[in-house]
Structure 1
Amino acid sequence: MTLPASLPRRRLLAGSACGAALAAAPALLRAQAFPSKPITLIVPWPAGGSTDRHHRALAELASKQLGQTIVIENKPGAGGTLGPGTMALTAKPDGYTISQFPMGMLRLPHMQKVPWDPIRDFSFIIGVSGYTFGFTVRADSPFKTFNDYIEAARRQPGKVDYGSTGIGTSPHLLMEELAGEAKVQLTHVPFKGNADLQQALLGGHVMAQSDASGWDKFVDGGQMRLLVTFGERRTKRWPNVPTAKDLGFNVVSSSPYGLVGPKGMDPAVVRTLHDAFKKAMDDPEHQKVLDQLNQDVWYRSGEDYRQWAVATYAKDKALIERLGLAAK
């Protein structure tokens, strides 16, 4: 019996299709296998501060969803921009190196030249939370109220100081904005992060500090006095402490943040990370940590987070220029 002439061609096509499928299989398996090793999460602040505490707890919960350890790497400096900025320039976009993305990333480029673009050089994964900012002094400080502090600055222009977590950070800019409204001159002392700043205040090296709620344990423990907070409303944890708005200052800040990776990440990898961290954020244990830090959930999908960053980057340019901090 003679075989049809078309059979060899059919076999050839079938063999080619099989070969293509086999060639594609490793790539498919790699995509399906993510993550196959530990993931590094850069926290661009020193260990021990509120941001570090939050991300360590969140990473532990997300690692259970991913089946891989998430290792925290503290990389402080440049007002929280050193860590994510270095990641953007050096890390592979494979999902194994991600970073917290603080508001300073959207402000520093307006203030000085940086080697990265805060929008184009990042893959936005998920929006996570925002801070409760407050202004504290040592428990033995002569400043019993925030108005005491402002009045001292009026009497001694430039002689009254405060520390923050760095030039261009939200704790710095909100105080510059408030000083402008109050028509006082304050001396700003920048630090690498929360932990360094707390120790400087406790050691008497600065008169006061503007910071996120890493000061909570010192306030509750009696070593510091909380004079004012900067939210839309008073906090549940310290309801007797006035907001800046209560005192007549039109200054409100929560400085939302989230997680990003280098530009060019596989959308499937971004989705895997997003889903794991979203489940971690929904975990009751995560809410307990946020309650301790007096923070709220600020969930945004990756695309919504990117769109928010684009809008905020444009809006904050006007703020930087108004405060006279724009690059010349």
Structure 2
Amino acid sequence: MDRRSFVLGSIAGLAGMPGLVTTAAAQAYPGKPIILLCPFAAGGAGDMLTRAAADHVRTKRNVAAGVEYRPGAGATIAPAQIAKAAPDGVTLGLYSISPFLTVPHLQKVPYDTLKDFTYISIYAYVPIALYVLAGSPLNNWSDVVKFAVDNPGKFRWGTSGVRGAAHIATEAAFRKETARTTFVPFAGGADAITAMLGGHIEAVVSADYGPQLAAGKVKLIVLTGSEKLASQPDLPTFKELDYPISTEAIYGLFGPANLPRDVVSYWDAATREMMATDEFKTVLKTASANPVYMNSADFTANVTQNYRKLGEAIQSLGFNIK
């Protein structure tokens, strides 16, 4: 698999890497307590994968590391804070594609995806799915499309982030099917799931389905990307269905621009160590996630290419509403 084109199944691109600066202070890293900012509410896949990184360095490297939550605003609050942070590795965050690759094309954000960050490493991906309650009469994607077309506006759905990749990709799919649906905004995937369990919406599109799927409370209908789900290989993907945008959720670590090389190397090594542990494999299983590794160079190239290509796709679909 080409790590640089991974995530946007229908979009490809180019490479680039911001300069990394070595400083004397970085040689003593970490030295101070570290905060990892999670751009989502507690309880979802993003939460689990942020805590996995913090837990690993705390238990295996004896480093004081904690997680703080910054949900809302299309998951842009954490990146905005990190863009202004000192480049010392004390404040880092969980990377997910929406606040970097889609939201900046749709609304003004106080950061530049290509200039304001150091992309450290990627360590997991989750196929984003549209899912419904286990007892729903909608059993497959054809059922969903037919219901949405026959009942304009009555199919209500939410995501883990407004104007995120899952939102845009799903809206593009419904448009191609000429289905008029009702999108309901939520601060995080856990909130959207709660609303669905309460009968307030019909479906959720997110990567947060793992625990609910394991408990038999939801059923998956379609995957928004190009990668198949090993446990349900018959589920269709947006790429197979030839929809305009197909995207997975990838997760990793990022920091402010110009992080010292020693900081990047520290977290790259910690990431690779973590991925080999039984604890991390348990987290992956719980989150219905899969391991995927990218170093800083490949990660940066992935962001560069997909930011530009996804921006072109959003504009061509008429979603650019800045």
Which TM class, normalised by the smaller chain length?
Answer: 0.7 to 0.9
**Aligned residue type for 2:317:** L
Change (3 A) 1:305 1:204: same
Determine if the alignment matches structure 1 residue 296 to structure 2 residue 290. Answer: yes
Residues 233 and 126 of structure 1: CA distance in aligned 2, closer, same or farther (over 3 Å): closer
Distance 1:280 1:243, change over 3 A: same
Task: Name the CA shift for 1:192/1:275 in 2 (closer, same or farther; >3 Å).
Answer: same
Give 1:269 shift.
1.9
1:311 to 287, 300, 305: 305
Cα deviations across residues 66-112 of structure 1 (Å, max 9, x unaligned)? Answer: 430220111101222211222212x2211010001221112212111
Within 5 Å, give how 1:106-117 maps onto structure 2: 106-117=101-112
| Residue equivalent to 1:17 | none
Superposition map of 1:67-146 within 5 A? 67-89=62-84, 91-104=85-98, 105-146=100-141
Greater RCO, CA 8 A, separation 6+ = 2
Structure number with greater Rg is 1
In 2: Cα distance, 1:29 partner to 1:315 partner: 38
Partner residue, 1:265? 259
Aligned-pair identity in percent equals 32
Shift of 1:156: 1.9
Question: Residue 208 of structure 1 aligns to which amino acid in structure 2?
Answer: A
SS in 2 for 1:190: coil
Partner of 1:281: 275
Indicate the residue corresponding to 1:54 in structure 2: 49
The answer to which structure has the higher helix fraction is: 1
Task: Please say if residues 166 and 193 of structure 1, whose CA atoms lie closer than 8 Å, have aligned partners that are also in contact.
Answer: yes
Q: 1:269 to 1:153 in 2, by over 3 A?
A: same
State the secondary structure of the residue aligned to 1:32.
helix
Corresponding position: 1:147 with 2:142: yes
Q: Which consecutive unaligned segments of at least 5 residues does structure 2 have?
A: 1-21
Give the secondary structure class of the aligned counterpart of 1:319: helix
Q: What pairs with 1:177-256 in structure 2 (closer than 5 Å)?
A: 177-212=172-207, 214-244=208-238, 252-256=246-250
What is the rounded CA distance, in whole Å, between the counterparts of 1:176 and 1:63 in structure 2?
40
CA contact (8 A) 2:156 2:183 kept: yes
Judge conservation of contact 1:62–1:279 (CA < 8 Å) in 2.
no
Q: Is the 8 A contact 1:237 1:294 kept in 2?
A: no
Residues in 1 aligned to 2:30 and 2:194: alpha-carbon distance in whole angstroms: 38
What secondary structure is seen at the aligned counterpart in 1 of 2:199? coil
Q: Give 1:216 deviation, angstroms.
A: 2.3
Change (3 A) 1:110 1:48: same
- Give the SS at the match of 1:107: helix
TM-aligned CA distance change 1:194 to 1:28, over 3 Å: closer
Structure 1, residues 182-222: CA drift from partner, whole Å, max 9, x if none? Answer: 1212211121111111111101111111111x222222323
Separation in 1, partners of 2:225, 2:118: 29
Decide whether aligned partners of structure 1 residues 132 and 188 sit closer, same or farther in structure 2, where only a CA change above 3 A counts.
Answer: same
User: Residue by residue, what CA displacement relative to the aligned partner does 1:101-138 show, whole Å, maximum 9, x if unpaired?
Assistant: 22111221211122210121111211222221111112
Q: Distance in 1 between matches of 2:44 and 2:147?
A: 29
Cα deviation, 1:149-182, whole Å, max 9, x if unaligned, reads 2111111222222111122212212211211221
What RMSD, in angstroms, separates the aligned Cα atoms of the two structures? 2.3
Counterpart residue identity of residue 103, structure 1? I
How far apart, CA to CA, are the structure 1 residues paired with 2:219 and 2:105?
34
The one-letter code matched in structure 1 to 2:116 is D
Q: Secondary structure at the match of 2:249?
A: coil
Tell me which amino acid in the other structure corresponds to 2:136.
S
Number of aligned residue pairs: 300
Q: Select which of 304, 307, 321 maps to 2:315.
A: 321
3-state DSSP of counterpart to 2:313 = helix
